[in-house]
């Protein structure tokens, strides 16, 4: 199953730093791209139904390090 989460940041440079971090992220295989505005990032990943997946929580933690929040 595919899960998609969107994050908003204070500026385009901060969103790009988050995006670049995800390109080399070792915790999970995610796909990320800028979303609508240059200060928003959409992240999608596959997870197995029926099992608890920590990816969403880890993405939230990483985004918060960059001052981002889920939208």
The per-residue pLDDT string of the chain (71 residues; one tens digit each, 9 = 90 and over) reads 888 999 999 999 999 999 999 998 888 889 999 988 789 999 999 887 788 888 989 999 999 999 999 99
Is the overall model pTM greater than 0.85, yes or no? Answer: yes
Cβ atoms within 10 A of the Cβ of 66, count?
18
Domains (range + CATH), the chain: 2-70 (3.30.70.100)
1-29 burial by CB neighbour count: b if 16+ within 10 A, else e? Answer: eeeebebbbeeeebbbebbeebeebeebe
């Amino acid at each position: 199953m595919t899960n998609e989460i969107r994050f908003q940041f204070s500026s385009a440079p901060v969103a790009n730093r988050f995006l670049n971090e995800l390109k080399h992220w070792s915790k999970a295989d995610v796909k990320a791209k800028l979303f609508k505005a240059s200060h928003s990032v959409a992240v999608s990943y596959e997870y197995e139904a029926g099992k608890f997946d920590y990816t969403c929580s880890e993405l939230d933690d990483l985004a918060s390090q960059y001052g981002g929040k889920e939208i």
